[in-house]
Amino acid sequence: MATLSKKIKISMAVTLLVAGLTTAAHSQVAGGGLSAFGGESRGTVQFAGKVVCVGCSLEDVRQAHPHQHDLYLLRHRQGQVVMEVKSVNEQPLWRSLAWPPQLWVRAADQLFAQLTAEGNLFKEVEITGLLRNTRTFDVFDVTVHG
């Protein structure tokens, strides 16, 4: 009888262990949760547009160009830029987290410098990163076309 009780306990322990490992593996594959940078991660977002102003405010650009739409202010510790965003790969996520149209940007200094370079003003730019619930955009890549 003692052996049967011991076998049942071991079987239950193994079942709980397997269930716990399966749940942990599923949560890592499914994504979400907190990341090392803080804030909930939502997946990679890529948007394209052009920098229309460096160092100015969203209000300044709206007054100067009242017919321009989809303007977003991107703030970085080195400064800020106003971009006209033309396309986003994750439109529902972008609309829910990027409103009002001001985001804090965390990026390597050289990546943000690409956005503020005078030679890149009004050129087509693609930016890839993670958009978080905190309205922070962690930039991984900036590609300037043209």
24-56 pLDDT tens trace? 333 333 444 444 445 555 678 999 999 999 999
pLDDT at 32: 44
Residue with the larger pLDDT of the pair 98 and 30? 98
Q: How many CB atoms lie within 10 A of CB 79?
A: 13
Percent of the chain residues past pLDDT 90, beyond the cut: 58
b/e sequence 39-69, b meaning 16+ C-beta within 10 Å: eebbeebebbbbbbbeeeebeebeeeeeeee
73-89 pLDDT tens trace? 999 999 999 999 999 99
Instruction: Provide mean pLDDT across the span 136-142.
Output: 95
Q: Given pLDDT bands bounded at 50, 70 and 90, which one contains residue 18?
A: low
Q: Given pLDDT bands bounded at 50, 70 and 90, which one contains residue 120?
A: very high
Range with lowest mean pLDDT among 21-25, 39-43, 121-125, 128-132 = 21-25
pLDDT at 41: 53
Tokens 């390597």, residue located = 108
Does residue 5 surpass a pLDDT of 50? yes
Let me know: does 125 contact 111? Beta carbons within 8 Å.
no
d(CA 10, CA 4): 10
Domain ranges of the chain: 1-30, 41-145
